[in-house]
Amino acid sequence: MARALVIVDVQRDFCKGGSLEVPGAEEILNPINELRTRGLFDVVVETQDWHPNNHISFAKNHPGHEENGVKQILWPVHCVQHSIGAEFHPLLIRKDSDVLIQKGIDPNIDSYSAFWDNGKQKQTQLKEKLVEENVSKLYVCGLALDFCVAYTCLDGVQEGFETYLVLDCSRAISSSSLTTKLFELATSDVKFTYSSLCCRKA
């Protein structure tokens, strides 16, 4: 069975100087690049927040909102479609063979996970692509660990994949939310690993 590396939202707006900067984001670039160039993975996926201007998650668009029973956290405007902030970090190694998954496209609901929107109403093409490639193991990393990376890991387990969080290739928005989320991940069959300990190809 195949292995996939899922690199979550390593985009300019989440990096230094971006509108929703994740502390230490640049520290994961070299470990991710080194990990993907070691030939350990049969599939490499990059996810990209790809929001329209009127996205529900943008604080500027409303003072507060709850959509379809899903409580919405409000964020600064970030990763607007075709903007510089939505671009991948220029130092992130990418290849034409990589699978691109864009999320957060629907203006009416947010999408942290690379598999589903937050209300589990619409599914991305990620599972379909992984099944096509006979993937059984996922190694997930990127930004931000306490939101999009974590939700991708949780859904990975739910969708039947053996799922690993690569800790040194991920960074969180806040230490308090990270502690809570790591506990949730650990009790949901997500396995923790580091890039130096990742699988070796047989």
Domain boundaries, the chain: 2-197
pLDDT at 51: 83
Higher-pLDDT residue of 79 and 69 is: 79
Residue 68 has pLDDT above 50, yes or no: no
pTM here is 0.90
Nearest to 161 by CA among 188, 139, 136, 186: 136
pLDDT bracket for residue 65 (50, 70, 90): very low
Report how far residue 11's alpha carbon sits from residue 138's, in angstroms, rounded to the nearest whole number.
Answer: 21
Cβ-contact 149, 143 below 8 angstroms: yes
- Give the least confident one: 22-31, 54-63, 127-136, 167-176: 54-63
Among all residues, which ones are annotated catalytic?
9, 103, 148
Q: Report CA dihedral (144, 114, 79, 85) to the nearest 10 degrees.
A: 70
- Name the CA radius of gyration of the chain, rounded: 16
CATH number of this structure's domain 2-197 = 3.40.50.850
Give the mean model confidence (pLDDT) for residues 149-173: 98
